[in-house]
């Protein structure tokens, strides 16, 4: 059957699939290598911190930045940087000279690239498919990424168990290399900067006689910072959404702590090998897919506040239960339920943003949304290692689940969050509803 979007779109999708698949191999391989080198939970937390901080900072800046570069070439450069980053520990590990800082440096570089790669990929779709095919094109990309999340962790765990973590890291490098070649083969419509802005704002152009001077740079920076400030400005009009995102940041901090410790948890508590540990992430993704299907079947809901806070509370409770079991089968059931619960917050949250945010501000506001929601996740990974090292993994899981559970239950009586259930005012004029939302 002929591809309705053309071969260029197929190359983009293939590059995204390779990147997502490689990410799963690289993450498990680096975690396995760090734990094998040190046996230290604190080192595992430091690895998460090294990856999380660059990703967090570039996620804040990524919205405006991606629009100022040719997206196809930007993605290709990011793939090459990722390839170079994972090649460092791969080559040194094969030579028997691998050190801990090599893995930390690789994690920092790949984390930074991750912050910009997917926004650039999503922004490339209209240039390849046009507006008419956009919905299907985005759906296909989401499906490809979900498929990689389902297959990748289990495959990475199996390879690591059979041939070692360096073999899995080699697959990661091969995926990035193939992805870079596909991205470089994209047509001029994606490799050219002119494909992304039909008109350039006049204040971005250097004034006559001052080309290369300081004024254009100052104006560009002012506009750039202004776009970021506009994203934050949304939360002044809708403080209920800011409170929600602060709760999300606490929940994500707990999730970051738990999943950073998944290799030690699997080896020390569950007594399993790399293949079984990789299966935990796959089962979580399978639960997420089931949750999305369940939400689609339920349809529109009225009580946003109860559903969203209930989702965060249940996830916290399930993390606490993971800290109380050493049974692998029960752990699989718990991570499936965690995945199943997650979309009941994320999908409803996205629905609220879709209704409240004006079309012209979606990119900026969603950039800030993910920045706030993920702001504590790197700290969570590091604190997870520190707490696990000091008090043990069961105590870590109880704290990581208990904190968001208590915060969500504490927010349940909030009158401010009652406004999530109210019909929003005209999203094109958010200031008109500042007093209600």
- Is residue 34 pLDDT above 80, yes or no? yes
In this predicted model, what pLDDT tens digit does every residue of 292-321 receive, in sequence order? 888 878 877 778 888 889 999 999 999 999
Domain boundaries, the chain: 1-194, 216-437
The CATH number that domain 216-437 falls under is 1.20.1250.20
Which structure tokens are listed for 368? 């800030």
Residue 214 burial (CB count, 10 A)? 8
In this predicted model, what pLDDT tens digit does every residue of 186-232 receive, in sequence order? 776 555 544 334 334 444 444 444 444 444 666 666 766 776 777 78
Q: Is 299 left (phi over 0), alpha (psi -120 to 50) or beta?
A: left
Average pLDDT score over the chain: 82
Q: Which of 108-122, 198-212, 420-434 tops mean pLDDT?
A: 108-122
Mean predicted confidence (pLDDT) in 152-178: 93
What pTM did the predictor assign? 0.79
Same fold, 1-194 and 216-437: yes
Residue range 1-194 forms a domain whose CATH class is mainly alpha
Which structure tokens are listed for 321? 């239960």
């Amino acid at each position: 059957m002929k591809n309705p979007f053309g071969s260029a779109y197929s190359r983009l999708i293939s590059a995204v699939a390779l990147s997502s698949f490689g990410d799963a191999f690289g993450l498990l391989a680096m975690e396995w290598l760090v734990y094998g080198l040190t046996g230290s939970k604190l080192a595992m937390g430091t690895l998460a911190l090294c990856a999380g901080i660059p990703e967090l900072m570039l996620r804040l800046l990524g919205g405006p930045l991606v629009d100022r570069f040719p997206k196809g070439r930007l993605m290709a450069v990011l793939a090459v940087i990722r390839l170079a980053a994972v090649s460092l520990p791969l080559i040194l590990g094969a030579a028997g000279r691998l050190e801990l800082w090599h893995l930390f440096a690789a994690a920092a570089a790949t984390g930074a690239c991750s912050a910009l790669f997917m926004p650039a990929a999503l922004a490339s779709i209209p240039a390849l498919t046009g507006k008419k095919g956009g919905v299907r094109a985005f759906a296909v990309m989401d499906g490809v990424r979900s498929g990689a999340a389902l297959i990748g962790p289990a495959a990475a765990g199996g390879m690591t168990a059979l041939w070692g973590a360096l073999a899995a890291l080699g697959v990661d490098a091969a995926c990035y290399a193939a992805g870079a070649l596909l991205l470089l083969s994209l047509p001029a419509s994606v490799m050219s900067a002119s494909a992304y802005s039909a008109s350039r704002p006049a204040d971005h152009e250097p004034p006559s006689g001052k080309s290369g001077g300081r004024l254009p740079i100052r104006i560009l920076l002012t506009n750039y910072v202004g776009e970021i400030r506009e994203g934050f400005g949304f939360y002044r009009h809708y403080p209920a959404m800011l409170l929600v995102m602060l709760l999300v940041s606490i929940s994500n901090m707990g999730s970051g702590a738990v999943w950073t410790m998944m290799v030690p948890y699997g080896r020390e508590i569950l007594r399993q090998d790399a293949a079984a540990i990789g299966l935990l992430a796959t089962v979580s993704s399978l639960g997420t897919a089931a949750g999305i299907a369940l939400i689609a079947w339920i349809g529109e809901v009225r009580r946003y506040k109860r559903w969203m806070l209930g989702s965060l509370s249940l996830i916290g409770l399930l993390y606490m239960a993971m800290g109380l079991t050493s049974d692998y089968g029960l752990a699989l059931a718990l991570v499936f339920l965690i995945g199943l619960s997650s979309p009941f917050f994320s999908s409803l949250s996205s629905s609220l943003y879709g209704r409240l945010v004006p079309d012209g501000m979606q990119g900026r506001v969603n950039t800030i949304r993910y920045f706030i929601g993920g702001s504590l996740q790197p700290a969570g990974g590091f604190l997870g290692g520190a707490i696990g090292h000091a008090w043990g993994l069961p105590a870590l899981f109880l704290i990581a689940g208990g904190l968001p559970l208590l915060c969500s239950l504490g927010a349940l009586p909030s009158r401010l969050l009652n406004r999530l259930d109210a019909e929003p005012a005209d999203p094109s004029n958010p200031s008109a509803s500042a007093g209600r939302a």
